[in-house]
Amino acid sequence: MTPVLSLPFAHLNLRRNPFGEATREERAELAVTSVASLHEGELVQFVGACGRGKTTHLLALSRLHPGAVYERLDEEHRVPRAVPREADIVYLLDEAQFAKPRELARIAARVRTLALGTHDDLAPRLGARPVRTVAVGGIDVDTLARVVDARLRWARRADSAPIPRVPPATLARLLARHGDDVRAIENDLYDAFQSLQEPCDVEL
C-alpha cells in the first residue's frame, strides 16, 4: 500500500536505503578497495567467488582510468563485444570466465592494459603474457565499516541531522554470519534499514 507521501527515507535523514542497488557509476564512487592504477601494459586478474568484490575492484579501476571500457559477460553474453579497437585503452572485463579460451587469448594479445574479474584462474588461457593475480575476498571489520560508511554518506540527506549507525558489534555479527560475502551482508542491512523508524544504532 502506498502510505502518505513523504520524501524518501526522510525519517532517517537519508535519501534512499543505503544498501539498495546502485548504478555502475555510483558503485565506482562507492568502491572501497586498495586497488591502484594499472601500469601501462599490465594484465591483472581479480579472482574470487560471487559477492566478494571483483566487480567493485574493476569499477574502482574505471574511476582511476577515465576512458576505460568496462564490459560484463554472462551465460547469455559470452562473446565480448566492447573490446577497444585502440590498444592503449584500458579494458575491464568482468565475469571473464564465460569467454572462450581462444577469445581470451585474442584479447590478451590485442589489449595492452587489461583487467579481468573472474571466478577461475584464467592465467593458463592468456598466452605468454605475465599475469598479476589478486585473490579477492576476506574482508575484515574495519574494511566493512568503511564500506558501510561510504554507503551511509552516499545516502545521507542533511549533514546537520543524525542518521542511523551500524556499530562494530553488528558488523562483527554480520561477518560471523556471512563470512566475506559482502553482497549477503548488504542484503541483511537493506532489510534492517527498511524497518527502522528513526535514526538509531542498527542491531542484528
Footprint of other proteins (CB under 8 A): 1-3, 5-8, 15-17, 20-23, 50, 72-77, 95, 98, 190, 194
User: In this structure, which long-range contacts are made by residues 16-25, counting pairs with CB atoms below 8 Å and at least 24 apart in sequence?
Assistant: 16/155, 17/155, 17/190, 17/193, 17/194, 18/148, 18/151, 18/152, 18/154, 18/155, 18/189, 18/193, 19/151, 19/186, 19/187, 19/189, 19/190, 19/193, 20/190, 22/154, 24/59, 24/70
Q: Which is nearer to other proteins, 5 or 36 (CB)?
A: 5
Q: Which is nearer to other proteins, 89 or 204 (CB)?
A: 204
Q: Which is nearer to other proteins, 42 or 71 (CB)?
A: 71
Nearest distance in Å: CB 39, other proteins: 29
Q: Which is nearer to other proteins, 95 or 180 (CB)?
A: 95
* The one-letter amino acid at 131: V
Q: Which is nearer to other proteins, 91 or 193 (CB)?
A: 193
Sheet holding 91-94, edge to edge: 69-72, 91-94, 114-118, 43-47, 132-135
Give the separation between CA 121 and CA 119, rounded to whole angstroms. 7
Nearest distance in Å: CB 59, other proteins: 14
Q: Which is nearer to other proteins, 15 or 173 (CB)?
A: 15
Nearest distance in Å: CB 3, other proteins: 6
* Cβ pair 108, 46 in contact under 8 A: no
Nearest distance in Å: CB 154, other proteins: 11
Nearest distance in Å: CB 16, other proteins: 5
Nearest distance in Å: CB 88, other proteins: 27
